[in-house]
Amino acid sequence: MQTTPIPAATGAAPPGGGVPLEKTPSERFVAPAKPSLVGMTRSELAEALGRIGVPERERRMRVQQLWHWIYVRGAQSFEAMSNIGKALRTTLDAHFTLARPDVEAEQISVDGTRKWLLRLPGEHPGERPHLVECVYIPEADRGTLCLSSQVGCTLNCAFCHTGTQRLVRNLTAGEIVGQILVARDRLGDWPGGTPPANGLVPRDGGRFVTNIVMMGMGEPLYNFEAVRDALLIASDGEGLSLSKRRITLSTSGVVPNIPRAGAEIGTMLAVSLHAVNDALRDQLVPLNRKYPIATLLEACRNYPGLSNARRITFEYVMLKDVNDSPADARALVRLLKGIPAKINLIPFNPWPGTTFECSDWERIEQFSEIVFDAGYASPVRTPRGRDILAACGQLKSATEKLSARERMALRAMALTE
């Protein structure tokens, strides 16, 4: 039974009142005079080279050279590109950059999680830059990078810290790919790179970043084209070369773009479900009023490439006395019948001002056991980076900074739990 009050979201209410389904962006991206080549597709790179006078017969070769230097070697200047002639390097430097987002701040959790606050330009010259967050989670068998897709978020999910922010704008493909490059820069995750002196050990294939999840700030499917282009660059076998099986795109249920994601991107899919009936999900995830559970699950059943080897992950945040009863667990199993799925149970990560609480551990275990006995994998996600507000649902840029007291309280909580 619902006992916890649902916090109100910001923004204009829809007809009839209630929490708004979506926010509209307040700004747009304005390209700088010297754009970065990071995040351009191969065809966009070829067009860019054509604009600076590179003959058409050379462009394919030059694109391949640039691709290698940017995504295999991690070059941060054209001068480093030793197999490109000096004259062309000078021309490239006059018209383009290899810029990534600037790092405003880095925080390192007691559990080794790292959060980078990245600075992005605003629409208007001279205004305060915008900040987004990127999180690196080291584990024994992988290193997972959590990427943001928007400054703020389109949606208003009641339990999510990011959802309390306004939506400023969508990120470009370059700003999304740039997060990967920033992480690899900071981790020394390039050939010949120097890892930080804190005991980090390279993961699979000697690389630190082995997995990507689009689970940071923003709703990826409301920034479809940029997310698509960025993830295709990340999975390109001649560049960053991350397997599509190691890239997961998470959505709160933007139904029209779910089949597009399967057909045009082809990565793993995660769906933020969090409730087993429309009445509760309407409150927790207001987008449900536009795309209710039955419509969402039908899109999941038809997801291109869905199989037992390519299951959909359903994310379910555990909220005390809200959605965590044994009856909820049994209803969840019935809902997902026939869908190759894994159910990822997420202990709620508190943030200042929330009225929700995390389910008791005994209740989470009981919920997990019911789901597991029904034949579904039901791992309980270990909270990571709570002390630096890097855990699931906690990301919120420092444009709305926490007080010192709030930071100390969260750090103390992470040290004692």
Report how far apart, in Å, the C-alpha atoms of 245 and of each of 196, 249, 306, 312, 389 are: 28, 11, 12, 11, 27
What pLDDT does 386 receive? 56
Report how far apart, in Å, the C-alpha atoms of 360 and of each of 342, 347, 363, 371 are: 22, 9, 5, 17
What pLDDT does 401 receive? 45
What pLDDT does 174 receive? 98
Beta strands in 238-396 (DSSP E): 247-251, 268-272, 312-318, 341-347
Distance CA 142, CA 218 (A): 24
Q: Does domain 42-95 have CATH number 1.10.150?
A: yes
What pLDDT does 4 receive? 34
Residues labelled catalytic: 133, 392
Residue with tokens 């997990």: 368
Report the CATH fold assignment for 102-416. TIM Barrel (3.20.20)
319-345 b/e (C-beta count within 10 Å ≥ 16 → b): bbebbbbeebbeebbebbeebbbbbbb
For the chain, 417 residues long, the average pLDDT of each consecutive 10-residue run is 35 48 89 96 98 97 98 97 97 98 92 92 84 92 94 89 85 98 96 80 81 95 98 98 97 97 97 98 95 98 94 96 97 97 92 90 96 92 59 45 40 34
**Domain range annotation of the chain:** 42-95, 102-416
